[in-house]
Amino acid sequence: MGAYILRRLLIAIPSLLGISLILFVVLALAPGDPFGELAANPNVPPEVRAALRVKFGLDDPIFTRYLSWLTAMLHGDWGFSFASRVNVDTLILQRLPTTLFVVGSSQVLALLIAIPVGLYAARRPYSLADQVANTLAFVGFSLPTFFTGLLFILLFSIKLGWLPFVYQADLPGSGLPWLWANIRQAIMPVAVLGFFQAASYTRYVRASALDVARLDYVTTARAKGLSEGTVTRRHIARNALIPVVTLVALQIPAVFGGAIVTEQIFRIPGIGSLLIDAMLSNDTPVVMAVTFVFAGLVILFNLVADLLYGWLDPRIALR
């Protein structure tokens, strides 16, 4: 087991290097530069722009820039945002709690919907309930979040005036009103993301519950005279959730990544909106750091998923 983990981690190093190189080159080749906005300001003399480019090393060859980025990264220096003139790690850490809260709660909501609905649908396949659940699941993941997001805003904020549509990471105040304000502003983004995820999870839960329900030990359980509810809870659900757990583990990087589009619509100051802003202002160090974190998380959680799988199902051996 230990040797397996070590080997997987060692394999990860060249892939991370490769990922970072590709990211860097693509970003360097992309058009635009961080001081483009200064070009639209007649008061800024061209020399100032040129000096800034030199100061931030934008005129060096790509490979030199990559090497200096890499050596800094190896020393734990994440780089320095051109736009904010602060360290990138500070920026990311500032954004992390909001993303974890919003995207995390949407994952919880998704599971709370998907597991009962999926299991219920699988109990009587092709019944009316199953058809309804299936249809809703299809509708759910066919509608993109930017569409449902806008729809929610139009309905709940503008027509009905119930919910605010501008999210604030740290509302001033305390006590119950503060808690309520936080919940109120999170309802829409969490629902938009949660429903979208729930739709695909439901399909997984249903499919894997159907697989398990056909197995002999389930028939045995029923033959023992156990009630249908107990069979579903004790015997079907447990085994059916193994693939779902892996799926959720693989989704964790996405949780960190936030939901870029949803964050933009609701102005949630999370990692996703940081990435978008950084891309729009060509803030290379921030884009590099955020995407690199994502790449690292994907590799890490792939490993975690594999380990989890082996732990949940001892028949699978890790070598």
Partner 1 sequence: MDERDLHGLIGRVKDGRLSRRAFVQRMVALGLTAPMAGLMLAGNGVALAADIRAGYKPTKAGGGGALKLLWWQAPTLINPHFAVGTKDQDASRIFYEPLAAWDPDGNLTPVLAASIPSRENGALAADGRSVVWTLKPGVTWHDGKPLTADDLVFTWEYARDPATAAVTTGSYKDCKVEKIDDLSVRVLFDKPTPFWCDAFVGVVGMVLPKHLFGPYSGAKSRDAPQNLAPVGTGPYRFVEFRPGDIVRGERNPNYHLPNRPYFDTIEMKGGGDAVSAARAVLQTGEYDYAWNMLIEDEVLKRLETGGKGRVDVVYGGKLEFLLLNATDPNVEVDGERSSITTKHPAFSDPKVCRAMNLLVDRKSIQTYIYGRTGKATANTVNGPERFVSKNTAFAFDPAKANALLDEAGWAKGSDGIRAKDGKKLKLVFQTSINAPRQKTQAIIKQAAAKAGIETELKSVTGSVFFSSDPANPDTCTHFYADMEMYAYGATQADPAIWLLMYASWEVAQKANKWQGRNVVRWRSDAYDEAYNAAQSELEPVKRAALLIKCNDLAVSENVLPLIHRAEVSAVGASLTAPRSGWDNDLAFLPDWYRDA
Nearest approach, Cβ of 51 to partner 1 (angstroms)?
6
Contacts (Cβ under 8 Å, ≥6 apart) of 194: 105, 106, 107, 108, 109, 110, 113
Please pick, from the candidates 12, 52, 218, 307, the single residue that binds partner 1 as defined by CB under 8 A: 52
The three state secondary structure string of the chain is CHHHHHHHHHHHHHHHHHHHHHHHHHHHHCCCCCCHHHHCCCCCCHHHHHHHHHHCCCCCCHHHHHHHHHHHHHCCCCCECCCCCCEHHHHHHHHHHHHHHHHHHHHHHHHHHHHHHHHHHHHCCCCHHHHHHHHHHHHHHHCCHHHHHHHHHHHHHHHCCCCCCCCCCCCCCCHHHHHHHHHHHHHHHHHHHHHHHHHHHHHHHHHHHHHHHCCHHHHHHHHCCCCHHHHHHHHHHHHHHHHHHHHHHHHHHHHHHCCHHHHHHCCCCCHHHHHHHHHHCCCHHHHHHHHHHHHHHHHHHHHHHHHHHHHHCCCCCCC
Instruction: With CA atoms as reference, report the closest residue to 255 among 101, 94, 68, 28.
Output: 101
Please pick, from the candidates 22, 179, 280, 318, the single residue that binds partner 1 as defined by CB under 8 A: 280
Under rule CB under 8 A, residue 45 binds partner 1: yes
With respect to partner 1, which residue has the nearer C-beta, 85 or 315? 85
Please pick, from the candidates 5, 112, 166, 316, the single residue that binds partner 1 as defined by CB under 8 A: 166
Under rule CB under 8 A, residue 148 binds partner 1: no
Nearest approach, Cβ of 92 to partner 1 (angstroms)?
11
Under rule CB under 8 A, residue 35 binds partner 1: yes
Please pick, from the candidates 39, 62, 179, 318, the single residue that binds partner 1 as defined by CB under 8 A: 39
Q: Pattern of binders to partner 1 over 62-81, x per CB under 8 A?
A: ------------------xx
Please pick, from the candidates 46, 175, 225, 314, the single residue that binds partner 1 as defined by CB under 8 A: 46
List binders of partner 1 among 189-248 (CB under 8 A): none
List binders of partner 1 among 5-34 (CB under 8 A): 31-34
Number of residues that bind partner 1 (CB under 8 A): 53
Under rule CB under 8 A, residue 49 binds partner 1: yes
List binders of partner 1 among 82-141 (CB under 8 A): 83-86, 91, 94
Under rule CB under 8 A, residue 282 binds partner 1: yes
With respect to partner 1, which residue has the nearer C-beta, 47 or 216? 47
Nearest approach, Cβ of 47 to partner 1 (angstroms)?
8
Under rule CB under 8 A, residue 265 binds partner 1: yes
What residues line the site for partner 1 (CB under 8 A)? 31-53, 55, 80-81, 83-86, 91, 94, 153, 157-158, 161, 164-166, 168-170, 172, 264-265, 267, 269, 273-274, 277, 280-282
